[in-house]
C-alpha cells in the first residue's frame, strides 16, 4: 500500500525542549581532564523536540507538549518547531525558569557525551498534561521519553491507554528505578545501554539483545525494538525476534540518531501497520542523522529516508 495515499498520522510528543551546546573535540575528556575543543555551536534540541521534528519531517501531523523558559532561547526553540510544522499550542512558557540546556561533546568518531540541565522541562507537571488531554485523545500515537518528570510521563501514558492511543516509549535517559506501569506501552525502543539498565542483562550481541527483549516484553512492553547501531535493530514482535539490518554510513554525530529513528518509526508504523517495515524505515532515518552534524538539523525528510533506504513507497 502506498503511504502517500494515507492521511498523515496524528503524532503527539510529550517531552523535553532544549537548546543544545555542541562542542566538537578529538577525544572525549575523562574525569579530571581538561582538553582544548575544536569548535562549538548552538542547535535546537531536546529528545522530545527532536522526535517531534523527526515525526513531522517523516510525514506526520505533529503536536508538541512541553515547556520553555523565560530566557533568550525560548523564542528560538518555539519558532524552530513551528518552522518544521510542529504544532506548539501545548508548549508553555515558564517565565521564572531557564529553558532546558544540553551540553554535548562529540569526538572525531562521532560518539558523544551529554549533560542535560532540565530547566523549564521540570515544569511539565501531571496537571499540565491533564489540561491538554484532548490533544492526546485525538492522536494516533503518543511518543514519550524521560527528560521530563516521570510522573508526567506516566500520566501521558495513562491518558493514551484509556483512549486506545498507541504509545511508544524511548526510555532515555534510562531510569534506575521505575514503576511497572512505565513499560506497559505498545513499543519500547531502547539502545543497548538503556536495555541493559532496564533489564540488568548484558546487551552486546544479537543473542543477548533477544534475551533482553524477551525480558522487556515480560515486564510489560507489547513490542520491543533494541537499536544496536551498525548491527541493526533487534525487533521482538508477536513472540518472534528478528534483526532488521542497519544501513552503513560513516558516523559523524550520533546525537539525534535515536530520536530520528523513533520519530520515523512512529509515523511509518501508524501509516502501514507493519512494525518490521516501520523499523526498516526508521533505521534509514537513524543512519542519515548519524551521518550529519547537529540534532534537528541532521534529521531527514520522508523523501530522503525512502531514497536512502531504497524503500518501496
Catalytic machinery residues: 259
From CA 114, how far away is CA 73, in angstroms rounded? 19
Determine the 3-state secondary structure of 32 from DSSP.
Answer: coil
What Rg value do the Cα atoms of the chain yield, rounded? 18
CB–CB of 264/279 below 8 Å? no
The C-alpha cell at 125 is 507537571
Determine the 3-state secondary structure of 209 from DSSP.
Answer: helix
Please count the other Cβ atoms lying within 10 Å of the Cβ belonging to residue 188: 28
Residue 34 contacts by C-beta under 8 Å, 6 or more apart in sequence? none
Query: Nearest 5°: CA angle at 235, between 230 and 239?
Result: 155
Query: Nearest 5°: CA angle at 260, between 125 and 62?
Result: 55
Residue 67 contacts by C-beta under 8 Å, 6 or more apart in sequence? 17, 91, 92, 93, 94, 120, 121, 123, 124, 128
From CA 58, how far away is CA 53, in angstroms rounded? 8
**Sheet of strand 100-106, all strands in order from the earlier edge strand to the far edge:** 39-45, 18-24, 100-106, 112-117
From CA 230, how far away is CA 24, in angstroms rounded? 22
Bridge partners of 69? 94
Q: Quick one: how far is CA 212 from the chain centroid? A: 20
Please count the other Cβ atoms lying within 10 Å of the Cβ belonging to residue 240: 8
Amino acid at each position: 500500500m502506498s503511504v502517500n495515499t494515507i492521511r498523515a498520522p496524528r503524532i503527539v510528543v510529550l517531552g523535553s525542549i532544549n537548546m543544545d551546546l555542541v562542542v566538537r573535540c578529538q577525544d572525549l575528556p575523562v574525569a579530571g581532564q581538561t582538553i582544548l575543543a575544536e569548535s562549538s555551536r548552538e542547535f535546537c534540541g531536546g529528545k522530545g523536540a527532536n522526535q517531534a521534528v523527526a515525526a513531522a519531517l517523516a510525514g506526520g501531523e505533529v503536536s508538541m507538549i512541553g515547556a520553555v523558559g523565560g530566557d533568550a532561547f525560548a523564542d528560538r526553540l518555539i519558532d524552530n518547531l513551528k518552522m518544521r510544522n510542529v504544532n506548539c499550542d501545548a508548549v508553555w512558557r515558564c517565565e521564572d525558569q531557564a529553558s532546558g540546556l544540553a551540553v554535548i561533546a562529540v569526538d572525531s568518531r562521532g560518539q558523544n557525551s551529554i549533560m542535560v540541565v532540565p530547566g523549564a522541562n521540570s515544569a511539565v507537571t501531571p496537571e499540565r498534561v491533564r489540561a491538554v488531554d484532548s490533544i492526546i485523545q485525538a492522536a494516533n500515537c503518543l511518543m514519550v521519553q524521560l527528560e521530563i518528570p516521570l510522573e508526567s510521563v506516566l500520566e501521558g501514558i495513562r491518558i493514551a491507554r484509556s483512549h486506545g492511543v498507541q504509545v511508544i516509549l524511548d526510555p532515555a535517559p534510562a531510569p534506575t528505578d521505575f514503576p511497572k506501569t512505565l513499560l506497559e506501552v505498545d513499543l519500547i525502543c531502547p539502545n543497548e545501554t538503556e536495555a541493559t539498565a532496564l533489564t540488568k542483562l548484558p546487551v552486546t550481541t544479537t543473542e543477548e539483545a533477544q534475551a533482553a527483549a524477551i525480558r522487556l516484553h515480560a515486564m510489560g512492553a507489547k513490542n520491543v525494538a533494541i537499536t544496536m547501531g551498525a548491527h541493526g535493530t533487534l525487533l521482538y514482535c508477536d513472540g518472534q525476534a528478528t534483526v532488521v539490518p542497519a544501513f552503513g554510513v560513516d558516523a559523524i554525530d550520533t546525537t539525534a540518531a535515536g530520536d530520528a529513528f523513533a520519530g520515523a518509526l512512529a509515523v511509518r508504523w501508524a501509516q502501514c501497520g507493519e512494525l518490521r517495515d516501520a523499523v526498516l524505515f526508521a533505521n534509514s532515518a537513524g543512519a542519515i542523522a548519524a551521518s550529519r552534524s547537529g540534532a534537528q538539523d541532521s534529521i531527514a525528510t520522508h523523501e530522503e529516508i525512502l531514497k536512502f533506504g531504497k524503500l518501496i513507497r
